[in-house]
Structure 1
Amino acid sequence: MPRRQLSLSRIEQLLLRRPGFDPASDARTFSISASDYAGLVLLTPLVRIISNEAPNVTIHLLPRARDAARVLQTNQADIVIEPIELFGPNDYPTASLLSDRWLCAVDANHPDVTGDTLTETQFLELPHLVYGIGDDRQLNLADQHLANAGVQRHIEVTVESFLLNPFLIKGTRLVSLVLERAARRLIGTVDIKLLESPISVPDIHEAMYWHPRHTTDPGHKWLREKLLNVAQQLD
């Protein structure tokens, strides 16, 4: 790194350095970019904690961005929650949060799936609902895996929300790959059933990322510790 750029970086770090953070009294604003899946599983309990412990802290919950690294670099978000499989190689500080597995979701009264097992033949013959993001409908990790493996399916619906999947498949013949932690929270809300996927799909691993400029910030460190605590309590 050039000497001038290094000096400017150190000046920025000094300016951003804060003497301390008291969650009971200090006023701060933080932004977190995450999918609606991570919002339900991780950020819902985090918001409750902050509401009780840090009344003067404001949290801006931002949607997941296609270019997570740019969001951190441009300071659009203090923390990005992203699957490590999607973020890819990088030099940003990170901490693992949770892993989850993929299940198949169908209507509880599906006319073709009457038992507790979904066969590979049924999986391939049924119409599918898949999660995609952005104008080019980037597929989620499970559907990417199937596409890369050459698995041919009839995709009938795409949606940019994990949490809408169960509601959209209700009353249809659709099948959708969903993440277990989120789907099980929604079963009481919508009448669906979850089945093992007849085709093996790799687990997902969520992590939080932040810019090095925030590593020693006491308030930012407090927020990261709260997120880690939430993740640990899930297991």
Structure 2
Amino acid sequence: MREIERVFHAAKRFDPAELERTFTLMGADFFSMLLMPSLAARITRIAPAVSLRFLDSARGDVARLLQEDEIDAALERPLEVPDWVSSALLFHSPCAIIAAKDNAAINRAGIEQNGLLPIELFCEVPHAIRSIDGSMSGFTDEALAKIGRARRVSLALPHFQAVALAVASGNYLAAVPRQFAVSAARTLPIVIYEPPLSIPVPEIRMYWHARHDDEPPHRWIRDQILETVGAFGFPEAGNE
């Protein structure tokens, strides 16, 4: 009973302004670019003694890293994880197709920005993909196989930003999260198009070890992540 009271009073006394701690998150460069600047600014205002560290998804197995407390949370697409891993929906991530503004094949076809790419063109033009394990296929290839089609993947890179840069300077197409496509198009000479087929829309989730479910600082940082993502207006951000 005394232990319960102690935990209760500790939670009641929690003040983020007095917190001194480093939180380690892990995910794709999608998050380091889109989420972390806003999250860091928010945390600095609320808890100036808190530090943030962000690791790339290629760092290793999420469950192991959570078990060993090497990371506090992972921001990832759907994962098969043990029962002791808790999670929360961040947002849904529909797919968009990006190409260089001067992509010759698309310009010859006269496809306008945000227009639907013909399936023949989509399969004919070489693709660049983000791949952290070196594989040359993904959700898009699975969707194509279901309709008896295949694309030509010519370039696999470990980061979304590298994919966008390759697309901007070459004749590649790339299927990327729409949120990233919109962000990249603000600074790179790329155009966004609609895919010619239905590509699964993955849930982007936040994963953490269940032993931290009720830990006040951990609950607080999770809330900050959810609220920061929610402010972006992503589809169904933070709702389940």
Instruction: Report Cα offsets for 1:35-93 as digits up to 9, x if no partner.
Output: 11122333332111112211100111111145211111121101111112xx1254211
1:119 counterpart letter in structure 2:
P
**Residue aligned with 2:16, SS:** coil
1:80 counterpart letter in structure 2:
A
Instruction: State the Cα distance separating 1:142 from its structure 2 match.
Output: 3.4
> 1:52: which partner in 2?
45
**Residue aligned with 1:80, SS:** strand
How many residues matched? 219
**How big is the alpha-carbon RMSD for the aligned residues of Structure 1 and Structure 2?**
2.4
Matches within 5 A, 1:154-169: 154-169=152-167
Identify if the C-alpha distance between structure 1 residues 132 and 149 changes in structure 2 by more than 3 Å, giving closer, same or farther. farther
Unmatched 5+ residue regions in structure 2?
A: 1-5, 234-240
Instruction: State the Cα distance separating 1:139 from its structure 2 match.
Output: 4.6
Identity of aligned residues (%): 26
Instruction: Report Cα offsets for 1:159-180 as digits up to 9, x if no partner.
Output: 0001222211123211110111
**Residue aligned with 1:203, SS:** coil
1:206 counterpart letter in structure 2:
I
Query: TM-score scaled by structure 2?
Result: 0.82
Instruction: State the Cα distance separating 1:234 from its structure 2 match.
Output: 1.9
Instruction: Report Cα offsets for 1:109-153 as digits up to 9, x if no partner.
Output: 11111222421111111111111112x437554345446766422
Query: TM-score scaled by structure 1?
Result: 0.84
Instruction: State the Cα distance separating 1:97 from its structure 2 match.
Output: 0.6
Q: 2:80 aligns with which of 88, 97, 102?
A: 88
Q: Are 1:75 and 2:69 matched, yes or no?
A: yes
Identify if the C-alpha distance between structure 1 residues 106 and 73 changes in structure 2 by more than 3 Å, giving closer, same or farther. same
**Residue aligned with 2:26, SS:** strand
Query: In 2, distance between residues paired with 1:130 and 1:150?
Result: 20
Identify if the C-alpha distance between structure 1 residues 25 and 88 changes in structure 2 by more than 3 Å, giving closer, same or farther. same
Unmatched 5+ residue regions in structure 1?
A: 1-13
2:191 counterpart letter in structure 1:
K
